[in-house]
Copies of this chain bind each other. A is one copy, B any other.
């Protein structure tokens, strides 16, 4: 069935359900960033496979909203459908509600499966459409999965224990802290929909979503009980007894009835409107809601000392793989046989040699020359470029280890870089360094620190069209909140936060530059003596930065010192895990500028 036939079949179902438009978001019931295959309804229906893109099918027209990363890909993939492409961020592109309002008449209805839309998004649709007399109907039957006959099963990957030798905190203690937060706001229960929050709370992992070792499940936490709603086939016999000590196990779909029963008690229930799907709040109707960011997000973002040790160890192993890769690349690329895909595969192979390697933490961005300028580029068979000098090569990659998640970007000069490439690389490096080393007082949110990463580029009239950094989980999502280094309002940093710092510079068709490391927020002991607490970032990523691309004369004293000290540390911490040949290579790569 092609997209056209599928959309027409959907329209038949829509007419039976008396709805004039149907919303198919890129979402699962847990508001995950990456989707499990069984929830890729939008991909199946439209043929568009990008990671972000929401579809609305009207009775005559259909349209898909996606952002600049995917304009080209979407145009290609939607070619044989009648689905129009809505280029988000371009002038004149209507918002989804505005488009619905233009297509539907007063009294007509927009339908959506309430399990794949967050409370917040659902309310926004309702608010924006109400003035037009258009209602939103939350249809319990998902019209797309009804049509999708070869829909994959949900993952049955076994649940594993996330050992407290990595987690550093027992489930009991975590629950105690969450319940204290609940008590403070008078909440008697909380429904946890975000999968990384469930995994953190119960110290469990699985492999239900690519790159993200979460367990598809819900948690209902009350003052005294904890229920885990999960497919029982995912619970290995050997782990069942342990798991049952942490939570009462119930079938995944049993949550709906339980919520209905809970609603009758008319309690105050904590729901995070951005990660809780609308069906949860619908089933709980009659309860009082405490609508706020989940307390778990903030707790999860503060790594304890055991986690910090684990994450540091994981980065040491990851650094060893990166060094092997860079040395290999230096020798292999000039022979002319390395492509973007083969390089990424080789790096994965080096990582797989490391202790505890589980998976990549995201799809490797491996971009040569102009491909490096495409911010979220992933090489395909068709685009796969051969690496050859002269040219810049950008590789942004990461791995999942039980003790830590990594995310690192390095940009390497093949052959002799141009003066422009050197200037831009050096300014990106200045941003990475300044954002890392500038101390900041308690109470500083990331949108303030982020400016230090942009300054050196702004000085030459350049800016990068992405945020500077994101939080990173421990053997969990490579992107996690609630903190960020972006121009959005997020909570102030506290000790133990783990952030990526990754400014960049991109010249379309020519080259891309990005330098990324992960860094912990640590207390600045000296400055914290006078009553106010001060912080700074301490990098945990260990891998040399290409000295060929650094112009020393652009750097100030503190920046030169940082680079030399960082390289010294890279050598010092990685050398003992390397053979002589690699050690010598690393020593050369780490010599002072």
Q: Which A residues contact B (CB, under 8 angstroms)?
A: 434, 438-441, 447-449, 451-452, 455, 458-459, 461, 463, 487, 489, 524, 526-527, 530, 532, 534, 556, 558
Are A463 and B448 closer than 8 Å at their CB atoms?
no
Judging by beta carbons under 8 Å apart, are A455 and B452 in contact?
yes
Knowing A447-B448, A452-B451, A455-B452, say if A463 contacts B487 (CB, 8 Å). Answer: no
> By the criterion CB–CB under 8 Å, are B452 and A440 in contact?
no
Tell me whether A526 and B461 are in contact (CB under 8 A): yes
- B439 near A458 with CB under 8 A, answer yes
Q: Which residues of B contact A441 (CB under 8 A)?
A: 458, 463
Are B455 and A438 in contact, CB atoms less than 8 angstroms apart? yes
Q: Closest B residue to A557 by CB, please name it.
A: B556
Question: Which residues on the B side are within 8 Å of A534 (C-beta)?
Answer: 461
Going nearest first, the 4 A-B pairs with the smallest beta carbon separation are A461-B527, A451-B451, A441-B463, A448-B451
A447 CA / B450 CA spacing, docked (Å): 11
Residues of B within 8 A of A458 (CB): 438-441
Complex-state Cα separation, A369 to B438, whole angstroms: 30
CA distance A458 to B441 in the complex (A): 8
**Cα distance A449–B463 in the bound complex, in angstroms:** 14
Give Cα A526–Cα B441 distance, bound, in whole angstroms.
Answer: 36
Residues of B within 8 A of A434 (CB): 455
Q: Report which residue of A461, A527, A556 has the largest number of chain B beta carbons within 10 angstroms of its beta carbon.
A: A461
Kindly list chain B residues whose C-beta atoms are within 8 Å of the C-beta of A440: 458
Residues of B within 8 A of A556 (CB): 556
Chain B residues within an 8 Å CB radius of A487: 448
* Bound CA–CA A455/B527 (angstroms): 15
Sample 19 A-B pairs with CB under 8 A, ordered by A number.
Answer: A434-B455, A438-B455, A438-B458, A438-B459, A439-B459, A439-B461, A440-B458, A441-B458, A441-B463, A447-B447, A447-B448, A448-B487, A451-B452, A452-B455, A455-B455, A459-B558, A461-B524, A461-B526, A463-B532
Query: What separation, in Å, do the CA atoms of A534 and B438 have in the docked complex?
Result: 26
**CB-defined contacts of A532 to chain B, threshold 8 Å:** 463
Q: Whole-angstrom distance from the CB of A317 to the nearest CB of chain B? A: 34
**Shortest Cβ distance from residue A467 to the other chain B in the assembled complex, whole angstroms:** 13
- Kindly provide the distance from the CB of A73 to the nearest chain B CB, expressed in whole angstroms: 23
Residues of B within 8 A of A448 (CB): 447, 451, 487
Apart from A438-B458, A448-B487, 13 more pairs, CB < 8 Å: A434-B455, A438-B455, A438-B459, A439-B458, A439-B461, A447-B447, A447-B448, A448-B451, A449-B451, A451-B451, A461-B527, A461-B530, A461-B534
CA distance A439 to B458 in the complex (A): 6
Q: Which residue of B lies closest to A534 (CB)?
A: B461
Residues of B within 8 Å of A489, CB to CB, are 489
Alpha-carbon distance A463/B461, docked complex (angstroms):
28
Complex contacts, A447 vs chain B, CB 8 Å: 447-448
Most B CB within 10 A of own CB, among A434, A451, A487, A527: A451
> In the docked arrangement, what's the CA distance between A527 and B458, Å?
10
In angstroms, Cα B452 to Cα A451, docked, is 8
A423 to chain B, nearest CB (A): 15
Distance, CA A524 to CA B459, complexed state (A): 11
Chain B residue numbers with a CB within 8 Å of A463 are 441, 532
Give A527's nearest chain B residue, CB to CB: B461
CB distance from A424 to the nearest CB of B (A): 14
Note all chain B residues with C-beta closer than 8 A to A439: 458-459, 461
In the complex, how many angstroms separate the beta carbon of A89 from the nearest chain B beta carbon? 12
